[in-house]
């Protein structure tokens, strides 16, 4: 298991990988010169694709925050491995994981990766922009920026900076993102210092375009020109932006402190009320998970999202937990679990053969792993949309059949006649299930492999079936045991399988370069349709996308995504996502390691939080706060330094 993180992908994480939540407003007047004839122009404080926004223009704050939350104090977290700078958008190196906190965009998003708002899948509200304007057909949009917005050095944030940043991402940004933007945005025009217009390409889906451009960070043009910094290169300089936090003290690979900017321009905004409450957010770095946990027990850091089932089951029996100094909680969330597990690079032979993937998948024994390594705390994940109304089940219903029929010959007949793929079952009493091994061998014979006299599987030309499984040197013991057991099962099958452990910087670069056979990693969760699905599962960007670890290239999936983007109602969107889920499972790109439905957190009892948490986020870095009385009591007792 990996560390828990909020499971809804935010706009900032992928530069609006999923804009799928977007469009309608609350009325407004046409602006001359912007609208086609007879097209109503909408002006709004936010953007939501299906129906009215949840919060009106004069909303005082989000409903789930404490508007009277005190500000101050410090929360300390941890991370594993190394970092080489603070440019989160670099395509090289390993930037500090929370370094995007400095940036803001036209629409608000959680600076720490928390969705904003955390109680709606579809809403986005203005941050740098006080209003967004667009016609009913969404051929363009105009952002009216707040004139009071300032970068952290006190200089104004203008439309010229927004245009500069747009071009910067096209020239130096992540390749898959730059390619997607060029295909969708026909032009950008600065109307005046605080007004910018985006024109969209004709003949494409309008879904997510406005939220995509509204979610791009805005950096200082003058700062980049003065410093000569590049967006695509690692740097110890944090890009000049306008967020509520800035990089403070740090020591490379040991710690970093983000400080709340007392001169932040946006404290008065309703979107910020009850949020950004800590004066400091500190991250301590450790080489391995064992040292990390011992540091937590000693009070070196104060908040720990837990992802290890072994540790959750057996590690929290130390005195501070028994005394109540350290609290443990299992917090329910409403997001689909991330698709975590064993993922093959489908652009490498023989993993480009679905039959081979299916065969090798049979050698993973979830039931044994759950009982022997995960302490019975995980559940089998059947669907990419597990636990939601979008999860496919059984045979396709009439709505799914109609969707598939509209795609034509690209749909294999099996998708109509076979039930949605679900994980195989295995014998929990033994790591190696002989019945599944025999089935795997039958499938591999169909794919052209036979077991030779030496017990090794070879193709018709005598080449052995080889698998190199990459893991990071910071991998936790549970995941390493899971991987080692699975590799042992592959070896028993006759596969030349091995585990290669490399440092975190190397594995990051090899991941970006698609230089691997198989990884233990994840697909981020999704619960709506957006153009970001192309970056996750689409053929065109498969070899450059950071969000498609299987490098999937499937004409079937491509066709489903294209049609899904034309959905005009939530009902149509649900049908489209069911079909996509069915197809992704049929492609067998993830061997699920299971999931935990709740968020597990452990923390020293010095924080406050709202009584009712929103469904999409735990939000400990967003809307929790520091309780000074509790903190002083812990320090007086010696529980904290």
Q: What is the pLDDT of residues 436-488, one digit of tens each?
A: 999 999 999 999 999 999 999 999 999 999 999 999 988 888 899 999 999 99
- The pLDDT, as a whole number, for residue 42 is 93
Give percent above pLDDT 70 in the chain. 94
Please tell me the least confidently modeled range out of 213-227, 486-500, 504-518: 504-518
pLDDT surpassing 70 at residue 569: yes
State the residue range of the domain holding 395. 339-592
Tell me how far apart the alpha carbons of residues 23 and 28 are, in angstroms, rounded to a whole number.
Answer: 14
Is the pLDDT at 355 greater than 50, yes or no?
Answer: yes
Does residue 122 fall inside a structural domain?
A: no
Q: How many domains does the chain have?
A: 1
Q: What is the mean pLDDT of residues 250-275?
A: 96
Nearest to 102 by CA among 126, 78, 86, 118: 86
| Helix, strand, or coil (residue 483) | helix
Residue with more model confidence, 196 or 473 = 196
Tell me what pLDDT residue 333 has: 84
- Give yes or no for residue 28 having a pLDDT over 80: no
Residue 4, pLDDT above cutoff 70: no
Q: Is the residue at 308 inside a domain? A: no
Q: What is the CA radius of gyration of the chain?
A: 25
How sure is the predictor about 39, in pLDDT bands with cuts at 50, 70 and 90? low
How many C-beta atoms surround the C-beta of residue 597 within 10 A?
12
Rounded to a whole number of angstroms, the distance between the first and last alpha carbons of the chain is 30
CATH number of 448's domain: 3.10.105.10
Q: Taking Cα atoms as reference points, which of 153, 165, 182 lies closest to residue 231?
A: 165
pLDDT in tens, 115-146: 899 999 889 999 999 999 999 889 999 999 99
Of 168-172, 333-337, 427-431, 545-549, least confident by mean pLDDT is 333-337
Mean pLDDT of 266-275: 96
Would the pLDDT of 21 be above 70?
A: no
Look over the chain and give the mean of its residue pLDDT values, rounded to a whole number: 90
Provide the pLDDT confidence category of residue 15 given band limits of 50, 70 and 90.
very low
Among candidate residues 420, 433, 448, the one with its CA nearest the CA of residue 579? 420
DSSP string, 520-567: EEEEPB--S--THHHHHH-STTTTT-TT-TT----HHHHHHHHHHTT-
Tabulate helix, strand, coil % of the chain (nearest 5): 30, 20, 50
The pLDDT value given to residue 51? 62
- Answer yes or no: are the C-beta atoms of 210 and 23 closer than 8 Å: yes
Distance CA 443, CA 453 (A): 19
Model confidence at 352: pLDDT above 60: yes
Q: In what order do the strands lie in the sheet with 41-44?
A: 41-44, 129-135, 140-145, 195-200, 185-192
Does residue 372 form part of some domain? yes
Query: For residue 13, is pLDDT > 50?
Result: no
Q: Of residues 365 and 638, which shows the higher confidence score?
A: 365
Lowest-pLDDT choice from 17-21, 236-240, 324-328: 17-21
pLDDT of residue 37: 41
Is 392 part of a structural domain of the chain? yes
73 within a domain of the structure (yes/no): no
Cβ–Cβ under 8 Å, residues 105 and 96: no
Asked, for residue 100, whether it belongs to a domain, the answer is no
Residue 300 lies in a domain: no
Ranked by mean pLDDT, the top range of 10-14, 15-19, 544-548 is 544-548
> Is the distance from CB of 592 to CB of 339 less than 8 angstroms?
yes
E-state strands within 96-178: 123-125, 129-135, 140-145
425 within domain boundaries: yes
- The whole-model pTM stands at 0.85
Quick one: pLDDT at residue 424? Answer: 97
Q: Per the structure block, which two tokens stand in for 354?
A: 């679905």
**Alpha helices, H only, 398-476:** 398-405, 414-417, 434-446
Share of the chain above pLDDT 90, in %: 77
C-alpha dist (Å) from residue 39 to 24, 34, 288: 14, 10, 59
The whole-number average pLDDT for the span 496-524 is: 93
pLDDT band at 535 (very low <50, low <70, confident <90, very high): confident
């Amino acid at each position: 298991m990996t560390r828990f993180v909020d499971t809804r992908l935010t706009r900032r994480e992928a530069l609006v990988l999923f804009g799928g939540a977007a469009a309608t407003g609350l009325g407004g007047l046409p602006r001359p010169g912007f609208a086609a004839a007879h097209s109503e122009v909408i002006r709004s404080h936010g953007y939501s694709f299906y129906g009215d926004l949840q919060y009106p223009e004069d909303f005082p704050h989000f409903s789930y925050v404490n508007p009277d939350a005190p500000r101050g104090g410090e929360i300390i977290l941890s991370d594993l491995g190394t970092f080489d700078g603070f440019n989160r958008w670099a395509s090289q190196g390993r930037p500090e994981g929370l370094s995007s906190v400095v940036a803001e965009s036209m629409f608000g998003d959680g600076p720490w990766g928390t969705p904003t708002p955390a109680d709606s899948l579809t809403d986005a509200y203005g941050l740098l922009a006080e209003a967004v304007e667009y016609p009913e057909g969404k051929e363009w949009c105009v952002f009216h920026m707040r004139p009071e917005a300032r970068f952290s050095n006190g200089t104004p944030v203008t439309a010229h900076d927004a245009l500069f940043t747009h071009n910067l991402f096209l020239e130096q940004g992540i390749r898959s993102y730059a390619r997607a933007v060029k295909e969708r945005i026909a032009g950008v025009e600065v109307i005046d210092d605080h007004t910018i217009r985006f024109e969209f390409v004709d003949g494409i889906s309008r879904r997510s375009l406005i939220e995509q451009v509204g979610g791009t960070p805005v950096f200082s043009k003058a700062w980049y020109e003065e410093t000569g910094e590049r967006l695509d290169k690692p740097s110890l300089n944090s890009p000049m932006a306008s967020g509520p936090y800035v990089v403070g003290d740090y020591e490379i690979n040991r710690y970093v402190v983000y400080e709340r900017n007392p001169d932040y321009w946006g404290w008065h905004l309703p979107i910020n009320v009850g949020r950004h409450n800590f004066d400091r957010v500190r991250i301590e770095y450790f080489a391995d998970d064992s040292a990390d946990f011992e540091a937590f027990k000693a009070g070196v850091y104060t908040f720990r999202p837990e992802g290890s089932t072994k540790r959750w089951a057996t590690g929290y029996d130390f005195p501070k937990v028994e005394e109540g100094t350290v609290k443990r909680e299992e917090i329910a969330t409403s997001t689909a679990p991330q698709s975590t597990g064993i993922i093959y690079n489908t652009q490498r032979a023989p993993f480009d053969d679905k039959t081979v993937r299916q065969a090798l998948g049979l050698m993973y024994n979830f039931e044994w792993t759950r009982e022997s390594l995960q302490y019975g705390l995980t559940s089998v994940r059947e669907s990419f949309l597990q636990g939601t109304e979008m999860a496919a089940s059984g045979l396709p219903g009439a709505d799914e059949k109609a969707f598939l029929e509209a795609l034509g010959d690209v749909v294999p007949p099996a998708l109509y006649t076979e039930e949605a793929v679900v994980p195989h079952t295995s014998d929990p009493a033994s790591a190696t299930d002989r019945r599944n091994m025999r089935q795997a061998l039958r499938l591999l014979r169909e794919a052209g492999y036979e077991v030779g006299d030496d017990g090794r599987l070879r193709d018709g030309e005598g080449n052995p079936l080889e698998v190199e499984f990459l893991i990071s040197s910071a991998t936790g013991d549970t995941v390493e045991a899971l991987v080692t057991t699975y590799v042992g099962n592959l070896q028993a099958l006759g596969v030349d399988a091995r585990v290669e452990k490399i440092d975190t910087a190397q594995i990051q670069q090899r991941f970006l370069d698609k230089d691997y056979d198989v990884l233990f990693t994840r697909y981020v969760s999704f619960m709506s349709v957006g153009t970001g699905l192309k970056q996750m599962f689409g053929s065109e960007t498969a070899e450059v996308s950071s969000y498609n670890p299987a490098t999937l290239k499937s004409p079937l999936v491509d066709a489903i995504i294209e049609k899904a983007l034309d959905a005009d109602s939530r009902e149509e969107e649900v049908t489209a996502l069911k079909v996509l889920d069915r197809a992704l499972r049929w492609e067998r790109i993830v061997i699920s390691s299971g999931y935990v439905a709740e968020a597990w957190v452990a923390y020293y009892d010095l924080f406050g939080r709202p009584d009712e948490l929103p469904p999409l986020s735990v939000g400990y870095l967003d809307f929790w706060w520091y309780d000074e009385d509790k903190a002083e009591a812990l320090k007086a007792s010696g529980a904290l330094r």
